[in-house]
Amino acid sequence: MPAVTIRSDCHTARSDLTTFSADSALLPAERRKPKDKLPKTQKGYIMKKFLKSQFGLPRGAFGWLAGKVMAYNNRERAAWAVALLQVQPRQKILEIGYGPGLALQILCERCPSASLTGIDASIVMCRQASHRNRKAIAAGQLSVQHGSVAQLPFADASFDGIFAINSLHHWPNPPANLLEVRRVLKQGGQLTLVEQPRMSKRSGSELQQLVGDRLTHMLRQAGFDIINLSSRVMKPHPCIAAQAIKPSQKNDRDCRHVYSNFNQKGDPL
């Protein structure tokens, strides 16, 4: 409600008027208890957490800006990841968590005969990636969709290859979500997971070992066979890639049993 100005004395000069607010239970402004202010350290933490969340699930104007930053800073990583895929003509490839669509753009340029699909949980990134790759979409080479890795809107064995660049640690439930990824991958199809830790005090060699071990463990538990682990020195930390194949469907039931009761987010890499 709007503030109401009331004259405390009809003979009081205008400069001595007392201000009241219905929202403050009609207490004079000078007697109103000031709101508690957050410490600077807590403000910094909240802002840092907010900005980090915008890179995990971009939304609104800040999310749009985060997408632009990712497209500018991550070109080297995206190009390296695409080179690892070794996509063949007419293969069907899926990217999970495409962000601003940079890797899809590079892949469209390098493999014009491949059929590409992307899915991302952020509607802001869906729009940004669609704009970046509008020519490929218009040509029917690329389909950009909004959705979650927890429930991929694709039939079983739909893709020859699947990849994710620095998005695994943002998945709702990485170990269980890998089973959903395995479902839509063809037998003998290849999954490539690329991770680059951003904020860590560990050395490059420690990060390579730690991230490589975690990726290997999760992939094996989900029924994949590891075929390659590689890394590349980048700023601010090394980039690690784990590549695996789906050998057969015989382990599907066992893998689902392992994670049937798993309902918590995996540790960030």
> 49 vs 222, which has greater pLDDT?
222
Model confidence, pTM:
0.70
Task: Please give the pLDDT value at position 133.
Answer: 96
Average pLDDT, rounded, for the chain: 76
Q: How far apart are CA 269 and CA 267, in angstroms?
A: 6
Positive or negative torsion for Cα 124, 155, 217, 150: positive
pLDDT tens sequence across 135-145 = 999 999 999 99
Indicate the range of 33-47, 58-72, 122-136, 174-188 predicted with least confidence.
33-47
What is the mean predicted confidence (pLDDT) over 159-181? 95
Superfamily of domain 73-258: Vaccinia Virus protein VP39 (3.40.50.150)
Q: How many CB atoms lie within 10 A of CB 178?
A: 26
Confidence of residue 64 (pLDDT cuts 50, 70, 90): low
Q: How far apart are CA 186 and CA 184, in angstroms?
A: 7
